[in-house]
């Protein structure tokens, strides 16, 4: 095997108990599944663009180019969010848990990434509350998402992040709840329908 040869771990999707599943690369294949399901559920007259970006982990490259081209009025990035509740992760590291609903990001990368605008937080939190969707809030010191690039595009785009609580991120055994996937899709669909009330 020569230097630069792509390799991957041969790991398959496995269903566990209580609609919990494990597999490689839920970060960010789960986001694509949520995006598709949200679009199926949303009933709106607004023009909605759904983008599956590339190279988020190595410079947010696809988010930069797509947001620049599309010039959205508002945006939601979908990503995974580090969930605790297992060895090696303490409460001080994350308060996010699986099976507790979507994660709405307040800020990431200790503010070096996205600091979600109050108008976006209000939109997402009120939508969740009005549709009885349990949600979690996240303030993280670690990584960032495509939202970091999107919100700085051109003169700025109000941007939020909906995260899927996921254990063991960036490993071949990422673990999440299909219930959380469903709730993320539901929150995004309802938020799309109500976007005109906020922006």
Q: Tell me which of 15, 56, 69, 97 is the catalytic residue.
A: 56
Structure tokens at 184: 């993320």
**Cβ neighbourhood burial of 7 (10 Å; 0-12, 13-18, 19+):** exposed
Structure tokens at 197: 């009330």
Active site residue 134: no
Q: Could you give the residue numbers annotated as active site?
A: 56
């Amino acid at each position: 095997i020569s230097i630069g040869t792509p390799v991957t771990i041969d790991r398959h999707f496995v269903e566990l108990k209580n609609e919990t599943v494990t597999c490689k690369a839920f970060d960010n294949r789960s986001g694509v599944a949520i995006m598709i399901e949200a679009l199926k559920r949303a009933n709106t007259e607004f023009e909605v663009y759904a983008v599956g970006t590339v190279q988020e982990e190595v410079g947010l490259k696809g988010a930069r180019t797509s947001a620049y081209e599309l010039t959205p009025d508002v945006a939601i990035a979908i990503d995974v969010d580090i969930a605790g509740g297992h060895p090696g992760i303490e409460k001080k590291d994350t308060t996010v848990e699986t099976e507790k609903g979507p994660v709405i990001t307040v800020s990431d990368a200790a503010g070096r990434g996205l600091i979600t605008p109050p108008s976006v937080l209000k939109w997402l939190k009120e939508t969740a509350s009005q549709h009885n969707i349990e949600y979690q809030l996240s303030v993280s010191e670690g990584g960032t998402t495509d939202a970091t690039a999107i919100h700085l595009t051109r003169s700025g785009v109000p941007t939020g992040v909906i995260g899927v609580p996921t254990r063991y991120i960036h490993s071949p055994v990422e673990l999440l709840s299909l219930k959380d996937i469903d709730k993320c899709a539901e929150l995004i669909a309802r938020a799309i329908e109500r976007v005109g009330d906020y922006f």
